């Protein structure tokens, strides 16, 4: 069913993205600016479904969103971005939510105006989509599970032919779109209550090949770009696409790799948007055109509530990729990602200076091939460069040495199909201190004594940042920054040493912190095994010996799978994992169960 406006629309091909390069930035901020405050916000995609008022799409709300989008688009266009990623396709397809027909009609009208507005400003709109959503995704998932995790070839072909038909209609109805960005390895979180909720339906390489064989010809027909993200959360046989090159190559047919309308999209590391990681080796080892995903509102490093400069890492990545013919652009996330109580909205109300600085510098590093120093001069710090640069270096050092456990973060560790992140105990706006997390650090960190000494040294430098910020003319909340890193300091110290006095100090520090900042970081704290004298904690209980044996067996230091991995994580013993889950679930961050 179509609802094409009679008005002639602009064509994104006029923007010459192929010669200019693709400099995408997410455009969820204007949607979040209209969202009601909640204790926790899911920042992983625009909350379009939450903008309904009494079951109806509000004309007033979407008018405000378009006004916010206009201001937002002008800002990011002035920085050098030439395309926006806009959430999402599920609100524009009738067949997948037939009971939402009236709402979808309104969404289509309002989104059409939004796309026109973006094009008028010289920005190409890209629409995001999960694979897949709605009634057909739910039905296909159930049939697949009934067939013990697989699906008949005829059923698979029919389902993806159905998806291709819907996308064909969508691209015909909205010619303003420059393309679409597909997420296949993650679905909506458990906290999302929406008629447009997504499901993971690509389970193995056959699914992915069939999807591309069905859908890519549609994009070639319409001369639109199909961007396919390699991000996964470890689910199914495609759960290792983020780092397993041989599996990824099995999934991408030759015709897709050679298509002028197909791009892969990689995060900058084999894990997530975190520090202390080398550039994703896909960037140098795959001969398939790609864009690089970068985050400037770092979801694991404060959401922009304190200085969190990404320029030093991104400068290094940019230099490594400068002569790479397969790099076609970048996709910057300045609002998207994670769950938290923090409420800053990039380039709009309650904005974050630190997020905006990251976003301005990042595009200059990749588009103009500038250095960090050149970029800082060009975004307004020409006369105040020295104090600004020193403050940003100190903030980077603080995060690396106090928030992270460096000798653990530098390790490359795998658990089944997932790369273990370099930062485990801080997840979004929660700090998790449990025996399992402590044991993970103590088993695999290579120099805890050195980490502790460097942490002590770095923590003492935060006082200098107050005077530097004043000299640089940067808006800086020194009290919040100092209080937050004091909390990180005692959390890391307790994880490393397990001393009772550190636990007591941590409780006192958090009590005052929570009183001063009730909507900031939360603490999940369990008692840890103590230390013997000056030595680092060495657990001797039977349970901790078992955990040591288990963790040492299932975690590996090389990407290749071992026979024990194939045995322990075989689908036939999945029920054992589910049976044992209550035994160790309390050792994990609460957020994994409540939101992720």
Which of 63, 57, 157 is CA-nearest to residue 97?
A: 57
Q: What angle do CA 257, 260, 266 make, to 5 degrees?
A: 55
pLDDT score of 585 = 60
Residues 89 and 171 in one domain: yes
pTM of the predicted protein model:
0.93
Point out the least confidently predicted range of 90-104, 361-375, 421-435: 90-104
CB–CB of 488/403 below 8 Å?
yes
Q: Which of 323, 347, 382 is the last residue of a domain?
A: 382
Residues 284 and 411 in one domain: no
Residues 311 and 428 in one domain: no
Q: How confident is the model over 542-582, as pLDDT tens digits?
A: 556 667 777 878 899 999 998 888 887 766 666 665 566 56
Average pLDDT in the chain = 89
Is the pLDDT at 197 greater than 50? The verdict is: yes
Q: What's the mean pLDDT in 430-448?
A: 94
Split at pLDDT 50, 70, 90, the class of 175 is very high
Whether the CA torsion 357, 362, 368, 373 is positive or negative: it is: positive
Residues 159 and 45 in one domain: yes
Quick check: is 510 in a domain?
yes
Q: Which of 350, 382, 414 is the last residue of a domain?
A: 382
Quick check: is 581 in a domain?
yes
Is the pLDDT at 411 greater than 50? The verdict is: yes
Residues 447 and 548 in one domain: yes
Which of 329, 274, 330 is CA-nearest to residue 298?
A: 274
Residues 278 and 312 in one domain: yes
Quick check: is 387 in a domain?
no
Please, what is the angle between helix 542-554 and helix 435-444, to 10°? 60
Residues 466 and 585 in one domain: yes
Split at pLDDT 50, 70, 90, the class of 537 is very low
- Render the burial of 41-77: b for 16+ CB within 10 Å, e for the rest: bbbbbbbbbbbbeeeebbeebbeebbebbbebbebbb
Work out the number of other CB atoms within 10 angstroms of the CB of residue 78: 10
Is the pLDDT at 586 greater than 80? The verdict is: no
Structural domain containing residue 510:
393-594
Quick check: is 341 in a domain?
yes
The token duo for 261 is 């309308």
DSSP string, 87-121: --GGGG-GGG-GGGHHHHHHHHHHHHHHHHHHHHT
pLDDT score of 56 = 77
Residues 487 and 449 in one domain: yes
Instruction: Count up the domains in the chain and report the number.
Output: 2
Q: Which of 353, 382, 411 is the last residue of a domain?
A: 382
Residues 130 and 204 in one domain: yes
Q: How confident is the model over 130-156, as pLDDT tens digits?
A: 999 888 888 887 777 665 445 566 788
Is the pLDDT at 535 greater than 50? The verdict is: no
53: left (phi over 0), alpha (psi -120 to 50) or beta: beta
Whether the CA torsion 333, 339, 342, 343 is positive or negative: it is: positive
Q: What's the mean pLDDT in 156-183?
A: 96
Quick check: is 435 in a domain?
yes
pLDDT score of 395 = 97
- Render the burial of 201-226: b for 16+ CB within 10 Å, e for the rest: bbbbbbbbbbbbbbbbbbbeebebbb
167: left (phi over 0), alpha (psi -120 to 50) or beta: alpha
Work out the number of other CB atoms within 10 angstroms of the CB of residue 173: 18
pLDDT score of 254 = 96
Q: What's the mean pLDDT in 37-43?
A: 80
Q: How confident is the model over 321-356, as pLDDT tens digits?
A: 999 999 999 999 999 999 999 999 999 988 999 999
pLDDT score of 51 = 76
Q: What's the mean pLDDT in 11-16?
A: 80
Residues 439 and 582 in one domain: yes
Residues 216 and 71 in one domain: yes
More confident residue, 413 or 565: 413
Is the pLDDT at 173 greater than 60? The verdict is: yes
More confident residue, 233 or 238: 238
pLDDT score of 236 = 83
Q: What's the mean pLDDT in 270-293?
A: 94
Point out the least confidently predicted range of 148-162, 246-260, 380-394: 148-162
pLDDT score of 539 = 45
Quick check: is 213 in a domain?
yes
Half-sphere exposure of 449 (CA within 13 A, CB side): 3
Q: How confident is the model over 470-500, as pLDDT tens digits?
A: 999 999 999 999 999 999 999 999 999 999 9
Quick check: is 4 in a domain?
no
Residues 437 and 341 in one domain: no
- 342: CATH: 3.20.20.80
pLDDT score of 587 = 61
């Amino acid at each position: 069913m179509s609802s094409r406006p009679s008005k002639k629309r602009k064509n994104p091909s006029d923007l010459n993205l192929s010669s200019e390069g693709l400099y995408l930035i997410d455009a969820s901020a204007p949607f979040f600016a209209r969202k009601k405050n909640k204790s926790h916000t899911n920042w992983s995609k625009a909350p379009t479904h939450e903008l309904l008022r009494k079951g109806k799409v509000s004309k007033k709300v979407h008018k405000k969103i378009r006004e916010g989008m206009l201001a937002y688009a002008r800002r990011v266009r002035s920085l050098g971005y030439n395309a926006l990623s806009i959430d999402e396709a599920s609100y524009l397809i009738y067949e997948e939510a037939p009971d939402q027909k009236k709402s979808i009609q309104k969404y289509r009208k309002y989104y059409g105006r939004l796309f026109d507005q973006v094009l008028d400003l010289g920005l190409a709109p890209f629409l995001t989509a999960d694979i897949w959503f709605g009634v057909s995704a739910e039905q296909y998932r159930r049939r697949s599970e009934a067939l013990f995790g697989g699906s008949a070839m005829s059923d698979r072909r029919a389902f993806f032919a159905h998806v291709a038909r819907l996308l064909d209609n969508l691209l015909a109805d909205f010619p303003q779109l420059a393309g679409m960005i597909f997420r296949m390895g993650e679905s909506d979180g458990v906290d999302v209550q929406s008629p447009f909720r997504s499901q993971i339906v690509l389970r193995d390489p056959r699914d992915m090949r069939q999807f591309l064989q069905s859908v890519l010809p549609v994009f070639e027909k319409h001369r639109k770009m199909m961007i396919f993200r390699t991000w996964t959360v470890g689910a199914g046989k495609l759960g290792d696409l983020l780092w397993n090159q041989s599996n990824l190559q099995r999934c991408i047919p030759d015709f897709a790799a050679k298509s002028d309308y197909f791009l892969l999209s990689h995060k900058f590391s084999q894990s997530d948007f975190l520090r202390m990681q080398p550039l994703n080796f896909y960037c140098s080892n795959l001969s398939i055109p790609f864009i690089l995903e970068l985050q400037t509102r770092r979801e694991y490093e404060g959401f922009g509530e304190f200085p969190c400069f990404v320029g030093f890492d991104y400068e290094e990545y940019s230099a490594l990729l400068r002569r790479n013919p397969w790099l076609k652009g970048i996709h910057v996330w300045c609002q998207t990602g994670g769950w938290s109580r923090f409420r800053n909205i990039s380039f709009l109300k309650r904005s974050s200076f630190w997020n905006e600085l990251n976003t301005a510098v990042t595009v200059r590093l990749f588009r103009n091939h500038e250095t960090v120093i050149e970029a800082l001069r060009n975004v307004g710090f020409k006369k105040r460069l020295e104090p600004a640069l020193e403050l940003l270096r100190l903030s980077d050092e603080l995060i690396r040495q106090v928030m992270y456990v460096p000798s653990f973060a530098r390790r490359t560790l795998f658990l089944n199909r997932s790369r273990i992140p370099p930062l485990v105990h801080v997840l979004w706006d929660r700090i998790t201190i449990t025996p399992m997390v402590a044991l993970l650090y103590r088993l695999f960190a290579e120099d805890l004594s050195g980490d502790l000494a460097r942490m002590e040294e770095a923590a003492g430098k935060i006082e200098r940042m107050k005077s530097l910020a004043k000299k640089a003319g940067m808006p800086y909340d020194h009290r919040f920054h100092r209080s937050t890193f004091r909390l990180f300091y005692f959390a890391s110290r307790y994880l490393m040493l397990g001393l009772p006095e550190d636990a007591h100090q941590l409780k006192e520090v958090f009590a005052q912190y929570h009183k001063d900042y009730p909507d900031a970081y939360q603490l999940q704290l369990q008692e840890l095994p103590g230390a013997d004298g000056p030595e680092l904690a060495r657990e001797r209980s039977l349970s901790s010996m078992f955990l040591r044996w288990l963790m040492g067996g299932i975690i590996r230091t090389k990407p290749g799978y071992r026979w024990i991995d194939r045995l322990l994580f075989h689908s036939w013993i999945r029920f054992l994992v589910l049976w044992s889950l209550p035994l160790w679930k309390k050792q994990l961050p609460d957020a994994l169960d409540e939101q992720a």
